[in-house]
């Protein structure tokens, strides 16, 4: 005799009371969905349909230049004369209260930066000699010197910045934006990811552009960093458009039948993915065809030089994408994790990225796109004011460790004040001490520029409402544009 089957609550409601239980279950699920916040869940049949923002936006799209690994704020953006004066001496204990490692605490020596800083533009914003091209864009940039985060390891730090939590399995910011606003284009993905690595991978990997628990329609679509950006744009021999369309129609019909039987939203996402791939075959060749770009544009992005070509190609593709309606473009460059030979590694990475990043900002501005495109530059944390004692202290080959307590990020366009420096770290660049900005504050501000209230952009999952900023985050109103170039910041000297 077979044992009596065990029924879950869902099965019990579905099978009981002559079908009335199924109606009750449907009503319960409907109520649960409706409790997801003031914004209703997107309709299953068109999850990428354009949706209005909560209020008038200052930006229509975002390009995030993510510098994976943690660029050194002390050698690029935040000069510290006092740190240079104390070079080689023990770090004062008052700066190390938050440092748990007793070995480092007892042996920490100040590591002054060998870089030369100069002021740029009418704003007088200071940049390292490693960043001359970005320095020339100073009056279009907002520099936040008081960023801080709550994780000092790469995976959780990157996840916190991109997904709002150090845990895997949550949606990234690009997915949240696409969920909140939908797509402006039917031929290209609303959320695109471009990779250009300098021989290293990205620590948290694909989780950084994952849809998490959101429907998979909102996942970032990756483009290759070398060779052809998109593979298989052309059909194999013998497969014409008519035959391909017939196959897709057959797949769509079978998937639709399965969707009707199960109600699984992932099947609808699969249908839409097939259709997007079909439409991309028509639109993508024109997107990646750079033959009509002028020689001046190629030079601006560094496409004619081996060192800058990979990142420059992605920056140019990012501009072409936002011109064609892509809402969120994420560029990844790694790695800035310079535990040793800091000077040499910084020279390499800035040499690869400085010119293309500045070229992107200038190109967007010249084309009238910068005002409605928010550009972000930065990594998951900064680097320590002391040298990395675990990797050796050979003069000229020192490195810096991970540092979450104070670092710098850049923003431009999309309603952000140009030529403005916000916040300050202490005399050694250890702690952010003025106008502190947590990564959740940055996320709230990005969503605000897009016309989204971060407290209302929610999604119900496992019985609770989730949002990008978790239970924190405040809009950084001081960096929002008020018109004109900000006053010259005080000298660090």
Print the domain residue range for 85. Answer: 48-230+292-479
Residue 352 lies in a domain: yes
Residue 235 lies in a domain: no
Contact 400, 388 (CB under 8 A): yes
pLDDT classification of 266: cutoffs 50, 70, 90:
confident
pLDDT at 110 over 80: yes
pLDDT for 199 equals 56
Least-confidence region, from 45-59, 318-332, 422-436, 470-484: 470-484
Contact 378, 337 (CB under 8 A): no
Q: At what angle do helices 241-262 and 265-288 cross, to 10 degrees?
A: 150
pLDDT for 388 equals 84
The DSSP secondary structure of 10-54, one letter per residue, reads HHHHHHSGGGHHHHHHHHHHHHHHHTT-SSPPPPTT-TTS----S
Residue 311 lies in a domain: yes
Task: For residue 266, give Cα distances in angstroms to 215, 217, 273, 274.
Answer: 7, 8, 10, 12
pLDDT at 249 over 90: no
Mean pLDDT for all residues in the chain: 85
pLDDT digits 0-9 by tens, 59-74: 999 999 999 999 999 9
pLDDT classification of 22: cutoffs 50, 70, 90:
very low
- As a whole number of angstroms, the distance between CA 46 and CA 44 comes to 6
pLDDT classification of 14: cutoffs 50, 70, 90:
very low
Least-confidence region, from 64-78, 424-438, 477-491: 477-491
The whole-model pTM stands at: 0.83
pLDDT for 274 equals 66
pLDDT for 196 equals 81
Q: What mean pLDDT do residues 38-57 have?
A: 73
Q: What is the CATH number of the domain that holds 165?
A: 3.40.720.10
pLDDT at 332 over 60: yes
Q: Residue 94: exposed, middle, or buried by beta-carbon count in 10 A (0-12, 13-18, 19+)?
A: exposed
pLDDT classification of 233: cutoffs 50, 70, 90:
low
Q: What mean pLDDT do residues 453-471 have?
A: 96
Residue 26 lies in a domain: no
Residue 317 lies in a domain: yes
Judged by phi (left if over 0) then psi (alpha if -120 to 50, else beta), residue 386 lies in: beta
pLDDT classification of 79: cutoffs 50, 70, 90:
very high
Query: How many residues does the structure list for the chain?
Result: 493
Q: What mean pLDDT do residues 411-419 have?
A: 97
pLDDT digits 0-9 by tens, 129-181: 999 999 999 999 999 999 999 999 999 999 999 999 999 999 999 999 999 99
Q: What mean pLDDT do residues 25-40 have?
A: 42
Comparing 391 with 155, the larger pLDDT belongs to: 155
Q: What mean pLDDT do residues 313-322 have?
A: 96
Domain count, the chain: 1
Find which of 253-267, 340-354, 389-403 is predicted with most confidence, using mean pLDDT. 340-354
**Cis status, amide bond into 268, omega within 30 of 0:** no
Residue 475 lies in a domain: yes
- As a whole number of angstroms, the distance between CA 163 and CA 141 comes to 24
pLDDT classification of 32: cutoffs 50, 70, 90:
very low
pLDDT for 156 equals 97
Q: What mean pLDDT do residues 209-229 have?
A: 84
Residue 185 lies in a domain: yes
pLDDT at 25 over 60: no
Residue 241 lies in a domain: no
Task: For residue 48, give Cα distances in angstroms to 206, 218, 265, 275, 363.
Answer: 21, 8, 13, 13, 29
Which of 422, 431, 434, 438 minimizes the C-alpha distance to 471? 438
């Amino acid at each position: 005799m077979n044992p009596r089957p065990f029924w879950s609550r869902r099965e019990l409601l579905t099978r009981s009371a002559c079908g009335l239980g199924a109606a009750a279950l449907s009503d319960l699920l409907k109520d649960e969905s409706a409790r997801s916040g003031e914004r209703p869940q997107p309709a299953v049949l068109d999850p990428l349909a354009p949706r209005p923002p909560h209020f008038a936006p200052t930006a229509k799209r975002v390009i995030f230049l993510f510098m994976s690994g943690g660029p050194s704020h002390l050698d690029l953006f935040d000069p510290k004369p006092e740190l240079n004066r104390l070079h080689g001496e023990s770090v004062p204990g008052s700066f190390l209260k938050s440092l748990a490692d007793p070995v480092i605490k007892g042996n920490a020596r100040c590591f002054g930066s060998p870089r030369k800083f100069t002021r740029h533009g009418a704003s007088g914003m200071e940049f390292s000699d490693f960043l001359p091209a970005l320095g020339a864009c100073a009056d279009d940039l907002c520099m936040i010197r008081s960023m801080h985060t709550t994780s000092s390891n790469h995976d959780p730090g990157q996840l916190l910045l991109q997904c709002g939590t150090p845990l895997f399995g949550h949606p990234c910011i690009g997915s949240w934006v696409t969920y909140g606003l939908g797509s402006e284009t039917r031929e290209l993905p609303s959320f695109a990811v471009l990779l250009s690595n300098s021989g290293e991978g990205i620590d948290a990997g694909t989780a950084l552009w994952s849809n998490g628990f959101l429907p998979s329609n909102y996942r970032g679509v990756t483009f290759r960093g070398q060779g052809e950006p998109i593979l298989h744009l052309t059909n194999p021999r013998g497969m014409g458009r008519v035959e391909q369309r017939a196959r897709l129609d057959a797949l769509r019909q079978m998937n639709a039948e399965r969707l009707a039987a199960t109600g699984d939203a992932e099947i609808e996402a699969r249908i839409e993915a097939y259709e997007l791939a079909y439409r991309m075959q028509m639109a993508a060749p024109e997107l990646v065809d750079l033959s009509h770009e002028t020689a001046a544009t190629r030079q601006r992005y560094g496409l004619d030089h081996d060192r800058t070509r990979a990142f420059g190609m992605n920056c140019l593709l990012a501009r072409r994408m936002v011109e064609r309606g892509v809402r969120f473009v994420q560029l990844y460059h790694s790695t800035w994790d310079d535990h040793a030979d800091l000077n040499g590694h910084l020279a390499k990475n800035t040499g690869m990225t400085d010119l293309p990043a500045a070229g992107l900002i200038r190109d967007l501005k010249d084309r009238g796109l910068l005002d409605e495109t928010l550009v972000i530059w930065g990594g998951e944390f900064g680097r320590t004011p002391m040298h990395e004692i675990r990797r050796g202290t050979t003069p000229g080959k020192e490195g810096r460790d991970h540092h979450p307590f104070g670092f710098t990020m850049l923003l431009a366009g999309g309603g952000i004040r140009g030529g403005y420096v916000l916040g300050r770290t202490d005399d050694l660049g250890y702690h952010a001490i003025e106008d502190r900005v947590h990564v959740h504050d940055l996320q709230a501000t990005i969503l605000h520029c897009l016309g989204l209230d971060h407290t209302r952009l929610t999604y119900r999952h496992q019985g609770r409402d989730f949002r990008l900023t978790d239970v924190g985050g405040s809009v950084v109103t001081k960096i929002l544009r008020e018109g004109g170039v900000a006053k010259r910041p005080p000298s660090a000297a």
